[in-house]
Structure 1
Amino acid sequence: MATLSAHHVGLTVSDLEGALAFYRDVLDLTVVDRFSVGGEAFSDAVGLEEASADFAHLDADGVRIELVSYDPEAQSVPTTELNQPGAKHVSLSVDDLDAFYASLADDVSTISEPRTTESGTSILFLRDPGGNLIEILES
């Protein structure tokens, strides 16, 4: 069997520019690439008739985060709760979670204030403009 290595973590968004601004400006990630893909081979590969998509890749300290906006856009998923099968989230770490939380703009939606779990990890979940969950943990 071939050896696999991680390439990126992908999130589908409905508003690429809004999501990109959030990940770049709020989370301070660096944009490393932007591109569009379409055509028959792409449509076949993703299993969507006449699909095309716009992509933005960002660097999160060596982990590539891919934001992708599809045409045609599908209906929203019914729920984004973490305990639902198929739920997803991206996790990023910071040195000082309380300082990060204090620096967030008032319009950034969080699930709660920072909390320390029984395992000793301090975490905070927030949502990007499209509702995707992002876990911020203290390293």
Structure 2
Amino acid sequence: MTNFVHRLHHVGVVVNDLQGSLDWYRDKLGFEHQYSFTLPGAEVAMLVRGEARLEIIQVEGAAPMSKERKEIETFLKIRGINHFALIVDDLEEAVAALAAKGVEIVIPPSSVPNHSGDRFAYIRDNERMLVELFQSAS
């Protein structure tokens, strides 16, 4: 059976400051806090915006993000998930609105190099994690 997966449900992100991340994703990207819970040694909050869901996790004693993960020149040299992408209707408008809110624009609006007409940009969240904004041509 190969068709048991339907779509991605959520992305989990370990952060240093749970409340700071809740505030950032609410104020900058319009996510809503759906619910919170605790696990041994962790505080967790689920955020939603449309079909996008983020599980924000603050863990006691979590290691800080490595220097290589923080730099656009080296972040692809680390295995594992390194960013997540959010779909936007108008990439230029989204990037301009976020820049006006003080969000760091790491890569400005660019074309996906496969000639599809799809476009993307990268921003950083409050913890310097990369977030891609993606606009489909279709």
* Structure 2: segments with no counterpart, 5+ residues: none
TM-score (norm 2): 0.80
Q: 1:29 to 1:106 in 2, by over 3 A?
A: closer
Number of aligned residue pairs: 126
User: In 2, distance between residues paired with 1:16 and 1:79?
Assistant: 23
* Structure 1: segments with no counterpart, 5+ residues: 39-51
Aligned residue number for residue 86 of structure 2 = 92
Identical positions, percent: 31
Aligned residue number for residue 20 of structure 2 = 18
Aligned residue among 113, 122, 125 for 2:108: 113
What does residue range 1-139 of structure 1 map to in structure 2 within 5 Å? 3=4, 6-38=8-40, 52-80=41-69, 81-84=74-77, 85-104=79-98, 105-119=100-114, 120-139=117-136
User: In 1, distance between residues paired with 2:64 and 2:103?
Assistant: 24
Task: Compare relative contact order (CA 8 Å, sep 6+) and give the higher one, 1 or 2.
Answer: 1
User: In 2, distance between residues paired with 1:64 and 1:113?
Assistant: 24
Q: CA RMSD in A?
A: 2.1
| Contact 1:60–1:92 (8 Å) recurs in 2 | no
Worse overlay, 54-63 or 119-128: 54-63
